Amino acid sequence: MIVTLITITNIIITFVIIIFVTDSFLSRLGNQNIMSINKKQLTQLQDYLWELPKETRPDMLVPARVYALEELLDAILNDRSLEQLVNVATLPGIVKASMVMPDVHEGYGFPIGGVAATRYPDGAISPGGIGYDINCGVRLLISDLSYNKIKGRIEELSKEMYRQIPSGMGKGGFIQLSAKKMEEVLRKGAAWAVEEGYGDPLGLEYTESNGCLPEADPSKVSEQAKKRGRDQLGTIGSGNHFVEVGRVEKVFDEAAAEAYGLKPDQVTILIHTGSRGLGHQVATDYLRIMMSAMPKYGIQPPDRELASVPFSSPEGQDYYRAMCAAANFAWCNREVISWECRKAWSNVFGKAGGKLRLLYDVAHNIAKVEEHVVDGEKMKVIVHRKGATRAFGPHFSEFPEAFRHIGQPVLIPGSMGTSSYVLAGTDESMASSFGSTCHGAGRRLSRRGAKKQVDAAQLLRELKKRGIHIQAGSHRGVAEEAPIAYKDVNLVVETVHQAGIAKKVVRLRPLGVVKG
């Protein structure tokens, strides 16, 4: 009994010491280099590009750049996103510049809308530069039908999609993965859904990285993460995730639209979700690991949320392989949701509805090893995109032949009451922004702030009058994602179009939205 008490006492003392040391270390991190950014500190390089020079703060290794038309700057300066951008410029091994897109807003560690590249193989990798929802991304299905053929049945279609696609916080789907099946999903990605009959084999070619990162290692994903993902394939979750029926409202580039298979008034389905609880747990697990590992590598970031380790370190490699596995889960998830969309479509329209084809699927929360030209030298880098979309230009060998000459489709969702866009990647994005562009409208109000300002019932009535049918699990979710909570997506897209890091192809108008 005495031995047991001594053992327990020793454990408690050890635990208290660990907490004390960790808190002391983290407090030092959290209190370093606190500053606020104002407009006077920004140098305007172009109408759409601003810079905080490397001299803005002594610990910056590169400049910090902001893509934004001036009309968007006030909203961007309203939160800590540019302070976070400066912090990112201190990452070990960072090259060229830390960057944010015009949809930027404050996030965890990195601002959402952030892009940063570090030298391969010893530059930093940071979970904050990918985010909790690993491989949150967007895919667009396109139909053979025009709006006039279905305009009287939008509400019916929206309700059927809500029935077929599980949505909401923690909501599970019809697939229950065994341990063996989970390993297969984490290794194979979207191909698993195709093999199991829940996907279109032709769609893999139209998915970024063909829907699978081969570096994935399921053994680096915790059992808790796997448990959280066990029943979440084919589900959209909550927050800003959705499935949206829309139509092509305007064509800006006829040649690109034709190559993508898009035409005026065509009905489309946009899917926006990621790796669900599994990806969130992977981020949580490895943030803890990196917090503990940083002192070993002499890394002391200016913000505890910017935890990072060398990419080549054991911790860096373990995280990267787990992140790849979570990314594969997300691609598989969107493939299964596409199957559910096709089922709903068929239930409503039958054979007359034709097929729903995949235009493209692209991630906007991910880290990838890529080759880019930096200061005239081609080099391998670890590109972090957090709330930023890959936007590779023409002739990339991964692209399907049909649009290889145009460039990668870039999918930019708006909010449920505003437009979404299809853009095309460009050579300029490869030269200027590590092949990256914006990912959406970007929040202007916090979720709490939106709830204070929005009457959800009234908003639903107003949207219905405009021909937009919302199917949602709660009024709270509708209020949090109200159009006024977001920046003007038209200005965001105009910024990247003027900057040349993506070009406008078509604008989509929402007709029906399924939300958690």
Catalytic (active-site) positions? 439
> From CA 101, how far away is CA 389, in angstroms rounded?
10
Contact 128, 323 (CB under 8 A): no
Residue type, 488: D
The DSSP H or E segment spanning 423 is strand 420-424
DSSP 3-state of 373: strand
Going by C-alpha positions, the residue among 406, 409, 435 that lies closest to residue 422 is 409
> From CA 340, how far away is CA 163, in angstroms rounded?
10
DSSP-assigned letter for residue 377 = E
Going by C-alpha positions, the residue among 485, 473, 405 that lies closest to residue 441 is 485
The DSSP H or E segment spanning 456 is helix 456-465
Alpha helices for 38-166 (secondary structure H): 70-77, 81-88, 147-150, 154-164
Going by C-alpha positions, the residue among 12, 3, 138, 115 that lies closest to residue 64 is 115
Residue type, 35: M
Contact 367, 323 (CB under 8 A): yes
Q: DSSP string of 63-98?
A: -EEEE--HHHHHHHHTSSHHHHHHHHTTSTTB-S-E
CA distances to 392, 426, 434 from 396, in Å: 7, 11, 14
CA distances to 80, 266, 396 from 261, in Å: 40, 10, 19
CA distances to 16, 25, 181, 276, 291 from 11, in Å: 9, 21, 38, 35, 21
